[in-house]
Every structure is written in C-alpha cells, then in structure tokens.
A = this chain, B = another copy of it.
Amino acid sequence: MAQKATLGDDVFERLLDLIYSCELPPGAVVNESVLAARFSVSRGPVREAVRRLQGIQLVSREPFMRARVITLEPRAVRELFEMREALEGYASRLAAQRMDPADVEALAAGLDHNRRIGLGADDRQSPAETFDFHERIVRASGNARIVDTLCGDLYHLLRLYRRWSGSAGERRSIAYTEHRQIVLAIRNRDGELAESLMRSHIARAAENVLRHLPASAEAVGTDADVSAA
C-alpha cells in the first residue's frame, strides 16, 4: 500500500513509530547498523532517516558520536511550546484575516460535532481531534512554510511529549471552551484576539504537559539501548 515512497521515507516512518511506542525510549542510542539489520535494509536509508530525525531535533547529533533519542527535559518542552505559541498564534491571526467564511463555519460545526460525540464517551478520547483543530487553523493561515514547520516537524515532537508525559486526554472540556473562543474570534475577523487566545491556550497546554512530566526526566530512558531488540 504505502510502498510507493522511497525506502528512506519508509524507515523514517517506522523509526518514528518506534519512538512513539517507546521501543526506542528517550535517551536510547540510535545505532545505524542495528536498525538496518532490524528493517532488513542497508545502512544508507537508515542513515537518511536518522538525519531527518536529527533535523527535527528528535535525536541529538554530533559528527562522530552516536546519536541518541532526545530526553524529556523540561527546558526542551518549554522551548517547543514557546515556539508553538509564536507560530500558531501568528497563524491564528493570519487565519482570522484570510480564512474562507465557509471554512470558518465548517470548523465551528466540526468542533460542536466532536463535542457532542465525545461528551458521553470516555474522557481520554483520541487527541486526533485536537490536532485536527489546530491543523485546520494553521493551514488556514495560507503560509506553506509555517504549515510545514508546525504540521511536519513540531507536531511529531508534540505528540511525543504528550504520549511520554501521559497528559493526552486531559483538559478536554476546558480545551473545547478555549477552541470555541478562538473560532469566535476568527469569525469576527479579530486577528489580535485570535492570536492572544491561541497563545493562552497553548501556554495552558504547556503547563499541563510540564505538570505531568515524570519526576526524574532523565531516569526514563537513560542507558536504554536499542540492541535489546
């Protein structure tokens, strides 16, 4: 099915999954040869995939040293969410200026729909809708560069942090209210307000993730090694 892309892209996805599933826990050594053997592939594609992960800053890198999956340091979390505040806030402002009226209504409708569906169900419902909401607004900014940065690189990291910190399904009803306010601001074409609301929204989400960080961030994955596979 997804056999259309190149091997490097494939390995990239699989590596991402390995990291998501904590099979490659934070701090784990990323060994090109071992991974190549595991995926039944040469070191070339693996190397390429690892370099891409290094580009996202999902694994650390210095020339001849071995690469490691990043750890869950509060500082890195803070920096990631600050960057999201800057970029997504600005994207919201742009969206308020540029978003198609029909798309605004579709966004609002989708939001209500998700609320009705998710209300009675368990509270840990898929964070997919959250990503969907944010992604829609980001895409509405009409800036491909910002879209690529947020929806490509940064969201990988974001999902990772939420998963690692176990703070996924929380704050759902609060988030709904905040999302709704943002939509209203966009509908009113109030870019200033939309940006401000989005920033607050993300800042609160950051606090939530930070509160759920494992006590000793380092201990999670230090000395873990992929060769256990």
Residues of A at the B interface (CB closer than 8 Å) are 5-6, 9, 48, 51-52, 55, 57, 63-64, 76, 78-80, 82-83, 85-87, 89-91, 94, 143-146, 148-149
A-B contact pairs, 25 of them (CB 8 A): A5-B63, A6-B63, A6-B64, A48-B51, A51-B51, A51-B52, A52-B55, A57-B145, A78-B143, A79-B143, A79-B145, A79-B146, A82-B90, A82-B94, A82-B143, A82-B145, A82-B146, A83-B143, A83-B145, A83-B146, A83-B149, A85-B90, A86-B87, A86-B89, A149-B149
Q: Which secondary structure dominates chain A's binding surface?
A: helix
Which one of B76, B80, B146 contacts A86 once the chains associate, using CB atoms below 8 Å?
B146
- Identical copies of this chain, number: 2
A83: min CB distance to chain B, Å: 5
A89: B residues at CB distance < 8 A: 86, 90
Question: Among A55, A90, A145, which residue has the most Cβ atoms of chain B within 10 A?
Answer: A145
CA distance A55 to B145 in the complex (A): 11
- CB < 8 Å neighbour of A87 from B80, B87, B148: B87
Q: Which of B51, B63, B85, B144 contacts A79 (CB 8 A)?
A: B144
How far, in angstroms, from A79 to B146 measured CA to CA in the complex?
8
